[in-house]
Amino acid sequence: MKIKVRRIDKNIEFPTIISKREWIDLRTAEKAIINKGSYGLIPLNVCMQLPKGYEAIVACRSSTPKTFGIMSANAFGIIDS
């Protein structure tokens, strides 16, 4: 099975596999400032083409709130074919 991955901005580091479970670390497509108590959207720098019937789950790492002081409102997103 092959998953095609394309970066939107070629200047941002390409996602790489970070564990044996095939997790990848994504990078934001742009810098964002989100004030305390407000919300914002942070675009990712990736497009994926998945095989029919498969999905990719986008989730915050457990260290994101501690490291960056932000938390995903819905905790995860899904990319499907």
Could you give the residue numbers annotated as active site? 80
Tokens 């914002």 -> residue = 40
Q: CA separation (Å) from 75 to 8, 51, 52, 58, 81?
A: 23, 24, 24, 9, 21
Asked whether 64 and 43 are in contact (CB, 8 A), the reply is no
